Structures are given as structure tokens and as C-alpha cells.
Structure 1
Amino acid sequence: MDGDTDDRVYYVISDLHIGGDEQLVEMEFRTELLDFLERLERTDENAELIINGDAFGLWEFTKVDGIEKFDVLEETYPELFDQFRATGANVQITLLPGNHDHELAAYDGYIERFAEYNVDLVPERSLSRSVGEQVIHFEHGHQRDQNNRIEDWGNPHSTPLGYYYNTLVTSRAGQLSDRGRYNWLKDVQAVTPTERMPIWLFSKYFYREMNPVLRYSLIPFLLLFNISALLAILAGLDLVGVWPIPVDRTTEFLGQFGRAGTAAWFLLTINVAVAGLLLLVWIPLHLIRRDIKKTVDRFGIFETDLTVDPEAPYEEAAREVFDEQPEKTIFCYGHTHRPTLREVDGGIMVNTGTWLKRLHRRDGIIGILPPVFYPSYQLIAARIAPEADGVSVEFEQFTKPSPATEELTRTERFFTVGREPELDLPDRYVVEDENAKTRTRQTHN
């Protein structure tokens, strides 16, 4: 760390995941990223841009290997690389590899190729920067994820579990995405945690790929399922003579409406019959599933889970860094795609989110309709700067409208009216110089 960087301002972004097979080449935030880089090209600040891992989706390239992937990136995104060169002439650009672009640390040729565009590639697991009287620790964060941890750093043949998921699933989705009724499968990268993948696929099939006639005929049944299940139970009580009153009163009530009541009764009868059958099948299957799960857990067969706790491993890592290196007060990472700014013992931890689309699960309020995954963008850069009394950390957001109108069907939009996600960012923090390891205070914009 150079002494002249103590008064430098740091802009930090991560998890752009640029590139991949076929449909994954689309960079939906191209305009916003180029505008941000152009702004840094003109800034008078003593600034440095740090791209904290997963700038590129090299795992998602399955048709080229090694340094050839740079050639594809250079050819596919000429505007981006030209802007890197222009911005890097004014401010330092530092690139730290993540897990998706771990190959940047595996081939020396990448360092020279990026240097041609004024990008300083640092092929290490982490790096540090001085800011005022304090020090920032940067790492991508995949080291804390057992499914993406790369034990043999710099070995191009090091392939954690996440590598296979992305080369076999994500890249394949990029190759097949344009075959759908809407080009949606490429958004597989935005599905987090990974355990949501099956329900996301089912949701998109139901709302996007299913034959419309079939879908609209199923919706009334699915909406009424909860009521039908209750009526099925009450009908069963009526059949055995335990409690006939609810069925009798329902029949009397619907009988007041003539043919409309008869049609409603017919529809409910069909729903009740189907719901009853499903309940009869579901109950024993549920009990068997629970018993199998207990047995599997007892033997410890599946000790690796694709879903990683989004907070706990990083809190532990931050505390270790602060304890072992007391001069460090800020632990900055990415990987989980969740913007975070929170206090831990000895300093604060900052997650810079992602520039990929984010998908917010919205479960049905009634019935058993598949959940809707509402899309949005939360493009941010963390700004870390020296202040008179310490170091300030705040998020800058770059506006990009939600693509919901284009990407969600009318049915999905109808079921999410009034339930659109509100994407709030953490407030600005100042880590004070005096007793910075124990005194952090929050200030509002």
C-alpha cells in the first residue's frame, strides 16, 4: 500500500458476471456501467475503482479455454474495454478475481492483456488499501462458501462444486434461452439462493411456457384450492355423519342464486373432489418424506448444501480479520449479491451487491398458485472516503427501471399489484478514527 493513497476515495463494485455462452453475452446494464465509468473518467477526485470479483463469467464460457476467453470478451464488448482504457487513464482501476473469473489468477497472460486497457489485475485472494488512518480489507467472499471455495488458488483445474453447476446448468441455460416463448432462461444467474431453482423453473413454465388455455383453466382451481380442501374435509365429516351443518348451509346459500348458484356448486364439487383426492395422497407422502429426511440426516449423507448462509460466514471472517490485523476496520466483499452495511465487533462489513437482475419471490396470497419472481435492478457502487473524523461508507445507486412490464405476463403482474419490492439501501456510516475498532456510528443522508 502506497502512502499517497491515504487520502484516496475508493469506489467498489462487484458481481457483474459479464459474458458467457450465447444468450449470457447480453449485458443488460451496459448503459449504466459505461455512464459510471465515464463519470470516473472526468472526476477530479483522487480515486480508485476496485472491481471486487466476478466481473466476468468465465465459468460460463464452455466453448473456449484459457486466455482465449479474453479474446472473446474483447471482441464482444469493445465499448466496455475502450472505456476501461479511458477511465484508467484518469483513475486507477484494480480488478480482483472471484470464483466465476478465477481463471484471471491462473494465467499470467491476463495481467498483460488487461494492462493494455489500464486495468491492474491483482491475481490474489484479497488486497488491502489505506484510507485516512484506517485500512480496508477487500476479498470477493467465495472463500467463505464451501461450494465455491478454491483451495488451490491459481490452478486452472481447481473445480469446486459451483464450477460444475455453472458450466452444466448456467451455461446450458444461456444456450437454450432463446428457444422459450420469452428469452427468460438466461436469468438463471439471478436466482439466489440456488435451492430456489426448481420452483423458479416451475413458475416460469406455468406463467410463460404453459399453453394459455390450460393455464387459465387451472387458475380458478388453484385459487380455490384452500377453500376446496376445507370443504373436502367438511364433506368427509358430513359423509360419516359427524357434522352435516356446513354442507347443508352451503347448499342452501348457493341455492338462492338459481342457475348461477348451481354452476358455482358444480365448480366447487369438482374442486372439492380433486382437493380431497390430493389430500388423501399428500398426507401419507408427506409422512414418508419426513421419515426419509430424518433417516438421511441421521446418516449425514448430504453434508454439502448449495444454499449458503448469507451472513454468518462473513461476520466470522470479518471478526477474524479485525482481530488479526487491528489496523483494518472495513471488511468489503461481494459474492452473495445482497447489499449489506452492518456493524460487527471491531469495524463494519460491506457487501457491494450485484449488477445482475435481482428476482424477488412473491408467494400467492390465496390458493396454491406458483410464486411470482418479480425482477428489478439495484445497481450500486460503494464509496469509501476519508473524512475529518474517520472514514465514510455509503452506497451510490444508478437508476435502472424494473423490467417487470416486459418480462412478466399479465397474470404475474396482476398477482403482484401492490406487492412490488421496495429496494432500500443501508444508510451512510462513518467509522471514527478514535477507538475505531469499537466505536462506529450511523449518520443519515
Structure 2
Amino acid sequence: MPELPEDTVMVFVSDSHIGGDPGCDGFESPAELETLFEELAAFNRPVELILAGDFFDFLQIGDVPEGTNRASLTMSRPEYLDLFDSLKNFRSREGKRVVYLPGNHDAEAWWNPEIQETLKAVGLVDEFAYSYLASMEVGGERRVVYCEHGNQLDPVNVVEDYSDSLDTPLGHHVVMDFTRRVAPYGEVSPGLDLSEIKMVYPLVAIPGWVAGRYFYDFVGKVISYLLLPLLVAYALYRTAAYLLALSQGGGFLGASGELPRIHELFLDLAVFGLVVLLVFAVFFLVIRHVVRRTLNAVSPGKGAQGGGPHYSPAEASRKKIEGIAKGEARPPMAPSLDPATVDVFVSGHTHLPSLHEIERPGGRRCALVNSGCWLRQLQPVSPRLKGPPVFVSKFVLTHVRVMAEDGVLRAELWEKPKPARQRLTRLERLVSLGRRPSQPAPDAKARLLAASELPAWRSTS
């Protein structure tokens, strides 16, 4: 276990998922990640940059030309040149180091030696490791920081042997045989762009996303091309009838000698409008009921119904990490490590940034941090009228910093706000009004989301 100088900053970045075939590349924030690397390069202190898994997304890349590999192919793309130059510049600075950990989307870097050779040859990475473990002297005590990607805590993404190219978990096949194959089809119908299927968060909400896009598109068309034209046509017809009767000297009901009774015109229009709206409401409720029953049948977990960004796999992973931190199990990627010695446990994989503390027996605290991701997500929002969830775009660009400060070990969760363009129908905007998350300003600066301070602790045993 390396002993770091007390002024070292450890920075954890995961799940940027850089790379992919046309229509499959989900990384949209190279400028923001480049800015982070430039900021870290300017630090006047040692920095350990840990790329904590899924930095690349090799699963989204098909066949590559002879003489190249998925890493070199990705780095050669024009839109990423400045990003990788900034990472190379960071590593070239004094006291700066880059450690690369495996995830489930870039496991090829462990069974394909060409990729590690490429990344080292171009000066991007110092060390490849299955997990990261380091300590530093803080407040007179030795404090330990540990990190692994986190996919080994997710049953559908466990890789038993990273050196075996045939060791492919279920999650691998979901990407290779489903999302990567359907994404290139693009917009298959108005409002349903399959290239965005990989953005749906959580993935178990994909059925809700598909059903919701079709539902709101269909209902919107019924309103635009049937309901509104019918109401307008009837209003014009009754108005014309009223004016014709009036021009002939009669009232609205044709009774000769009566004064024009315009209130009857509006009453007639209102009654007709209410009848049409009632019929439409019944139609809406029936369609909504069918869609909700279908989603309940095919969507595992409550989160798929628009219950928010939390979903059961992430919660299960969090509980497993809490159990490890309490000594109930060993870290999957470092089974020889005594987890009771770890002060900060960093993971990624779930794309759900978080920071919280647990207290061990005896009072010693441990900070558990999820580094989140660098992606745009389509997150479900519960709409009004209890329809299918509305999926809104939100950038989640987060990273973790761990350092010694004023005699305590401090863990921080940072976010780079970025506005996301929304592709919602008028009906989706209407039913989600007041429930969509606010968008940050385009020039918003990076901000601290949460922090944990772990003071010195001495065993009382």
C-alpha cells in the first residue's frame, strides 16, 4: 500500500463511457472533462487521478481496422483530441499520476494487452490496477482510502476473470446484443429516437421510456388532429347558424321576433365541448390503464414507473458496500484487505452520485462515496394525471476528491452543472410542468455537492 504525502489530493473519475460507433457514443462532455484535467494539472500539490472504471466504452465499438485497437481508435477522433491532450499534459506535470481501474465496459484493457501498451505509450496512464488502495498520515494517524469500480457488487455485471475475453456477464450482452444494435436506427417514429436508449436511467426504465414516448405522441396527435379540430368545427358551425338566424330576423332557436339570445350559443358550445372532453377523458383513462398495466408487467422495480433516479440495483449495491465497510464482507477486487481499516470507500458503476457516512462499532466513521458519471441521463419524472413517466434530460458530471485538511480526512463530491436540451412534446411539457428539474445556467461553475470530514480516531480497546 503506497504511503502518500499529506498534501496529496486523490481525485476519482468514473463512467465517462468515452467512445462508440456512430449512434452508440453516449459521451457528450469532452470540454467539461478537459477543463477538470486542466484544473487538476494546475494544482500546486501532488495529485493522484484515479480513472475508476468505464473511462472508455469498448462495448459500444464494433470491429476495428487492422493495426489499431478500440483505445487508439477512440483517441484519434477529432472531437476527443483536446481531451486526451489535457490528460497527457496533466500526467506530465510534477507530482501528478494516473491510475486506471477496470469497469465492465472497458474490461478489454485487461485481456487485450495492446490497449494497456497504447495508453502507456502515448503517456496517458502510469499504472493499471484492479483496485486503488493508498494511505496518508492525517492528524497523527494513518488513514486509508480504497476504490474499486463497483460492478462486482452488481450480479448481472460480475466479471470472474478479467484476463478472459470470453468472461462476459449478462450486462455485457445487454449492451452488445441490444442497446448497441438498436441505437443506430435513430428516430424510428416521431419522438422515439433509439440512439438515446443508452441514456435512459435506470436501464430498467427502458420499457417505460418507450411506452411513454408512444403514449404522449399518440394522445398529442388525437388532441391536435381530432379533438381540437372537432371543437373548432362545431363552434364555427353553431356560430354560422346563429348569424344566419339573426340575419333572417329570428333568434338563435329560430323563433321570429325574439331578441338575439347569444348566451344560448355559448351554452350550446359549452355542452358540446364538455361531452367531447368527457369522451376524450374516458379514452385517455383507458389508454393510460392499459399502458400502466403493461409497464407493471414488463418493468422490474418501482423506479421504472417514474419514482425518481434511485432504483433497486443501486440501492442494493449501496447496502453491499455498507456491509463491506462494517466488516461483514470483503471488497470483491481486494479480498485480502481488512475493510475495517478503510476510512473512505469510493465506487462508481451505478451512475448515481452520493456521499454518506456510516458509524462502525466503537464509533469510528467511514465515508462511502459514489463518483457518479459523466453522461447525459434521461431520468423519469412522475407526471400529472398519473400517466406514464416523462423522461427529461439531465447532465450528471461528477467526481470525488479526497484530501487531508486541517488535521482531518476530507471527502468531497463535486459536480459540473451543464444545461441539457429537452426533446419533449407539448403534452409532455404540460403534464410535467412544475415537476421537471431546473436547468443550470450555461456558464455555471463547478460546485461542491457534499462533503464528509473524518477527524482523528483512536481505538479505545
TM-score (norm: length of structure 2)? 0.73
Distance 1:29 1:217, change over 3 A: same
- The answer to whether the aligner puts 1:327 opposite 2:327 as a matched pair is no
Distance 1:4 1:92, change over 3 A: same
The match for 1:365 among 370, 377, 384 is 384
Name the aligned partner's letter for residue 322 of structure 2.
E
CA distance in 2: counterparts of 1:57 and 1:114, whole angstroms: 15
Q: How does 1:168-247 map to 2 (within 5 A)?
A: 168-177=177-186, 184-207=193-216, 213-214=221-222, 216=224
CA distance in 1: counterparts of 2:459 and 2:28, whole angstroms: 40
Name the aligned partner's letter for residue 410 of structure 1.
R
The match for 1:150 among 149, 152, 159 is 159
- Residues 99 and 129 in structure 2, CA contact (< 8 A), matched pair in contact too: no
- The answer to whether the aligner puts 1:378 opposite 2:400 as a matched pair is no
How far is 1:131 from its partner? Answer: 3.2
How far is 1:375 from its partner? Answer: 1.1
CA distance in 2: counterparts of 1:273 and 1:393, whole angstroms: 54
Deviations 1:146-198 (A, max 9, x none): 00001122211111000010012221243122666579433322323222101
| Aligned residue number for residue 11 of structure 1 | 11
SS at 2:450 equivalent? coil
Distance 1:408 1:437, change over 3 A: farther
CA distance in 1: counterparts of 2:98 and 2:285, whole angstroms: 63
How far is 1:364 from its partner? Answer: 2.1
| Aligned residue number for residue 430 of structure 1 | 453
Distance 1:57 1:390, change over 3 A: same
How many residues get paired?
384
SS at 1:378 equivalent? strand
- The answer to whether the aligner puts 1:318 opposite 2:318 as a matched pair is no
| Aligned residue number for residue 410 of structure 1 | 426
| Aligned residue number for residue 340 of structure 1 | 354
How far is 1:23 from its partner? Answer: 1.9
- Residues 194 and 307 in structure 1, CA contact (< 8 A), matched pair in contact too: no
- Bigger Cα displacement from structure 2, 140-149 vs 11-20: 11-20
- The answer to whether the aligner puts 1:80 opposite 2:103 as a matched pair is no
CA distance in 2: counterparts of 1:37 and 1:214, whole angstroms: 50
Deviations 1:301-338 (A, max 9, x none): xxxxx962422222223333599243311110001111
Q: How does 1:280-291 map to 2 (within 5 A)?
A: none
- Residues 94 and 119 in structure 1, CA contact (< 8 A), matched pair in contact too: no
- The answer to whether the aligner puts 1:352 opposite 2:371 as a matched pair is yes
Distance 1:63 1:354, change over 3 A: same
How far is 1:362 from its partner? Answer: 1.5
- Residues 357 and 376 in structure 1, CA contact (< 8 A), matched pair in contact too: yes
CA distance in 1: counterparts of 2:4 and 2:449, whole angstroms: 30
Distance 1:131 1:203, change over 3 A: farther
| Aligned residue number for residue 92 of structure 2 | 89
CA distance in 2: counterparts of 1:58 and 1:15, whole angstroms: 12
SS at 2:98 equivalent? strand
How far is 1:14 from its partner? Answer: 0.8
CA distance in 2: counterparts of 1:22 and 1:97, whole angstroms: 24
Name the aligned partner's letter for residue 121 of structure 2.
E
Specify every segment of 5 or more residues in structure 1 that has no aligned partner in the other structure, as ranges. 221-254, 294-305, 439-445
Specify every segment of 5 or more residues in structure 2 that has no aligned partner in the other structure, as ranges. 229-263, 300-310, 332-336, 361-365, 440-446
Name the aligned partner's letter for residue 383 of structure 2.
G
Distance 1:327 1:218, change over 3 A: farther
Name the aligned partner's letter for residue 81 of structure 2.
P
Name the aligned partner's letter for residue 13 of structure 1.
V
Deviations 1:376-411 (A, max 9, x none): 11312211101232210112222212323xx33333
CA distance in 1: counterparts of 2:131 and 2:207, whole angstroms: 34
Deviations 1:3-24 (A, max 9, x none): 3444311111111011112123
CA distance in 1: counterparts of 2:373 and 2:22, whole angstroms: 21
The match for 1:101 among 103, 106, 110 is 106
Name the aligned partner's letter for residue 83 of structure 1.
S
CA distance in 2: counterparts of 1:157 and 1:19, whole angstroms: 21
- Percent identity over the alignment is 25
Q: How does 1:243-322 map to 2 (within 5 A)?
A: 258-268=267-277, 270-271=279-280, 274=283, 308-310=313-315, 311-320=318-327, 321=330
How far is 1:204 from its partner? Answer: 2.9
CA distance in 1: counterparts of 2:6 and 2:278, whole angstroms: 74
Name the aligned partner's letter for residue 115 of structure 1.
K
Q: Which has the higher helix share?
A: 1
How far is 1:27 from its partner? Answer: 3.1
Distance 1:119 1:137, change over 3 A: same
| Aligned residue number for residue 124 of structure 2 | 119
| Aligned residue number for residue 249 of structure 1 | none
SS at 2:175 equivalent? helix
- Residues 56 and 71 in structure 2, CA contact (< 8 A), matched pair in contact too: no
Distance 1:403 1:436, change over 3 A: farther
Name the aligned partner's letter for residue 48 of structure 2.
E
Q: How does 1:60-75 map to 2 (within 5 A)?
A: 60-64=60-64, 68-75=69-76
- Residues 93 and 118 in structure 1, CA contact (< 8 A), matched pair in contact too: no
| Aligned residue number for residue 136 of structure 2 | 131
Distance 1:382 1:65, change over 3 A: farther
SS at 2:157 equivalent? coil
CA distance in 2: counterparts of 1:188 and 1:307, whole angstroms: 20
Distance 1:397 1:275, change over 3 A: closer
Query: What RMSD in Å do the two structures reach over aligned CA positions?
Result: 3.7
Pair member with larger Rg: 2
Distance 1:50 1:426, change over 3 A: same
